[in-house]
Amino acid sequence: MLALGKLLDLTLAGREPTEKIQLTAEGTRLHWLTEGALEITPPGAADCGLDLLLSAGIHGNETAPIELLDRLVQGVARGELRPRARILFLLGNPDAMRRGERYVEHDINRLFCGRHEESSGFEALRAAELERLATSFFSKPGRTRLHYDLHTAIRGSKIEQFALYPYREGRAHSQRELARLKAAGIEAVLLQNKTGITFSSFTYAHLEAEAFTLELGKARPFGQNGIVKLDRLETLLEQLIEGREAESEEDGGLDGMQLFTVAREIIKHSEGFRLHLPDDIENFSELPVGYLLAEDIADTRWVIEEEGARIIFPNPKVKNGLRAGILVVPANL
């Protein structure tokens, strides 16, 4: 296997390869760009016109997606996967990955779309670098651009695998991309209704890519992800890489997929913030109308008013000014 197929091993060891560019027997080019960043270019005649960005490890303790990308990289390096797409593999936060922690100082996935300029430290610099890498990768005109940012969640979920679809004013949701997610085993999609500050929000709003944050189960340490079922997603990614994806049926192809939209975000304003939920509550747990969800200073209260409201990403430990949870409600396209 080509040495650059050991992207994960090199990254976890904090080492750089001796050779930055290597070719497979079929002529696929592997190019180490910087720590945790590997660009794959197919032979010219094989190129199908897709630019595919696959990122994981934005949170360093979310290891199942990292292991998935490692399998794909190794498949390319061994010649078992023969790319027809250009691919950029990004391991987002190498320092946190080495520590087995979500982040070191700042949550990188809250530092995109310019927010890194308001922060400091390693993670702010890394967010800026990831933006530069993505911008360069998606700079070729006339190509299809697709970004999957792969995550696992802090807690369990009533809906185990779901996607967040970013927002940009005036841009319609893609039925084809939603059908593609359904084929990959994604059970629900949250249609966001304002521009975000995550990595997928950056590539969607600023780089014209179709982009999604994929939540794929619960975060576990390396080597303990047997319970996280990623077979259908892995199959889709292999098909995209090799340019052999079956056509998805766009009309009527979303039967069974649940769609949600954001009703409200719960913002923590002070250390007096209190979230009135059990510590082990699962994502997509339904809350009854009239339920007192949270309280903060100055008599700020969040009371459930929406029928069918569910909570996702509840986290009272976030820093002041950040989102401590999202209330979502069922939606239609």
The per-residue pLDDT for range 249-285, each reduced to its tens digit, is: 444 568 889 999 999 999 999 999 999 999 999 999 9
> Band of the pLDDT at 222, cuts 50, 70, 90?
confident
Using the predicted structure, report yes or no on whether residue 228 has a pLDDT greater than 50. yes
CA–CA separation, 189 vs 181, rounded Å?
Answer: 9
DSSP secondary structure letters along 188-255:
EEEE--S---SHHHHHHHHH--EEEEEEEEE---TT--TTS--HHHHHHHHHHHHT-PPPP--TTTTT
Closest C-alpha among 44, 207, 189 to residue 133: 207
Read off the pLDDT of each residue in 220-241 and give the average, rounded to a whole number. 85
Read off the pLDDT of each residue in 126-151 and give the average, rounded to a whole number. 98
How do residues 30-60 score in pLDDT, each as one tens digit?
999 999 999 999 998 899 999 999 999 999 9
Dihedral sign from CA coordinates of 55, 49, 42, 78: positive
- Please say if 101 is a catalytic residue: no
How do residues 157-186 score in pLDDT, each as one tens digit?
999 999 999 999 999 999 999 999 999 999
276 is in an annotated binding site: no
So what's the pLDDT on residue 251? Answer: 44
pLDDT, greater one: 203 or 118: 203
So what's the pLDDT on residue 4? Answer: 92
Domains assigned to the chain: 3-242 (3.40.630.10), 264-330 (2.40.50.630)
Does residue 147 contact residue 163 with C-beta atoms inside 8 Å? Answer: no
> Band of the pLDDT at 103, cuts 50, 70, 90?
very high
Per DSSP, helices labelled H in 112-198 are 122-137, 175-183
31 is in an annotated binding site: no
Closest C-alpha among 106, 111, 80, 92 to residue 2: 80
Of 39, 210, 215, 245, catalytic: 215
Instruction: Enter the pTM of the model.
Output: 0.93
CA–CA separation, 122 vs 127, rounded Å?
Answer: 9
Residue 285 dihedral angles phi and psi, to the nearest 5°: -70, 135
Mean pLDDT over all residues of the chain? 93
